[in-house]
Amino acid sequence: MKDKIHPTYYPDAKVTCASCGRTWVTGSTKKEFRVDICSNCHPFFTGESQRILDIEGQVDRFYKKLSARQTYVEGQKAKEAAKKSPERPIADLGLSTRATEALTKAGILQVSQFMDKLAEGDAALLAIAGFGQKSLIDAKKKLRSFGYELPEITEASTPA
C-alpha cells in the first residue's frame, strides 16, 4: 500500500441523531457526524408506520375510492341497460321531426313498437305517411348503434 493516500480511520467516531438526540459510537473516517433519523426514531423500526396509516386514513380513502368506483360501474351498467331498453321512447332515436311525428301519429311511441313493425317488413314502416326510406335507414343505424338486434326480414315478409 502507498503511504498517505488513505483517509484516517477513527474506530470511536461519535454519531448523533438529529431527530431524537441518541448517540452511539461506530467506526468511520470522520470523528463526529449527525444523521437526520436513526433506527430508534424511524417509523419503520418503531412500528409507528401502522399508527401513521390510521391517522392519515389511507385505508379509509382506499375504501372510499373503491366504493366510488363500484358506484360508477353500477351506473354504467344501468346506463347500458337503459340504452337497450325496449320501453325507450322513439324520440331518443334522434330522427327528424317529421319522421318522429309520423311515427307518433301512427301510434309508435316506443322502440319495442318500432321493432315489432320492423319485423313485419320495411314496407310496413314505409306505408306510414311522412316516414320515408331515409328515415328508415337512419332509424336502423341508430338502433344498431344502441346495440339492438334488428329482426331478420325474410323474402316472404316483403311484398313482391
Q: How does pLDDT run across 18-47, given as a tens digit for each residue?
A: 888 899 999 999 999 899 888 888 777 666
Q: What is the pLDDT of residues 51-64, one digit of tens each?
A: 555 566 777 778 88
Cα–Cα dist 151/135, whole Å: 17
Grid cell 449527525 in the structure block, residue? 34
Integer angstrom CA distances of residue 134 from 11, 82, 96, 122, 139: 94, 26, 10, 12, 9
Closest-CA residue to 17 (of 38, 46, 42): 38
Q: What are phi and psi of 89, to 5 degrees?
A: -65, 150
The backbone torsions φ and ψ at residue 151, rounded to the nearest 5 degrees and listed phi first, read: -70, 145
pTM of the model: 0.47
